[in-house]
Amino acid sequence: MPYLQPKGGWIELICGSMFSGKTEELIRRVRRAEIARQRVQVFKPAIDNRYSVNHVASHDGLHYEAEIVEKAADILAKLRPDTTVIAIDEAQFLDWTVADVARLLADRGLRVIITGLDLDFRGEPFGPMPLMMAEAEMVDKLHAICVVCGAPASRTQRLINGQPANYHDPVIMVGANEVYEARCRDCHKVPGRVEALGRDA
């Protein structure tokens, strides 16, 4: 594997729609790092308290202890000197400084694992994720299963009272399967979206 270099840090990023197994994959990698006797710290933004305040948690019930950060710079403040691996879950909710923090730590020789939504409910890039996707050495896009047609799902549908949420609704809305479902491009609906073909022409 190209990322298993004997020295030097790197950024590996795991993205995809909700219910695609991002946090599950993060926990898998963190557990394996611990078996390899690495010193690991896991962080998550304060905003996401869905399943637990001080754990990262997958929709399937897996969880792992995490430190809460209000802003990306807090990660540097909380970093222990002997840490060799850091993981950040739900990175789409952090401020854009998170990309600088990831770069700084990778440059210092740490392994940096980032997970988050690549796209918001509108199907548009979510916060700092695209920046980190560009910079990461490795990017994995995971897929859920479209609940409408059974195809691989790349998008997250937000439903308000069972109806697709409007394009102009606020981007941030914490929740799980009471508001969101995984869908493929074809089944993903965003009323109010203006088709952007030729927008910059």
Of 12, 24, 90, 181, the active-site residue reads 90
Residue 90 among the catalytic residues: yes
Q: How many CB atoms lie within 10 A of CB 186?
A: 11
Residues 6+ apart with CB under 8 A from 10: 3, 106, 111, 112, 136, 137, 138
Q: Which of residues 4-23 bind Mg ion (CB under 5 A)?
A: 23
156 binds Mg ion (CB under 5 A): no
Give Cα 35 to chain centroid, integer Å. 24
Nearer to Zn ion, 54 or 163 (CB): 163
Residue carrying the six token digits 């890039």 = 125
**Sites of contact with ligand TMP (CB under 6 A):** 18, 22-23, 48, 50, 90, 117, 120-121, 156, 171-175, 180
From the list Mg ion, Zn ion, ligand TMP, none, partner contacted by residue 120 (C-beta under 5 to 8 A by kind): ligand TMP
Nearer to ligand TMP, 32 or 50 (CB): 50
Nearer to ligand TMP, 43 or 121 (CB): 121
- Over the window 47 to 76, marking each residue x when it contacts Mg ion by CB under 5 A and - when it does not, the resulting string is ------------------------------
Phi, psi of 167 (to 5 degrees): -50, -35
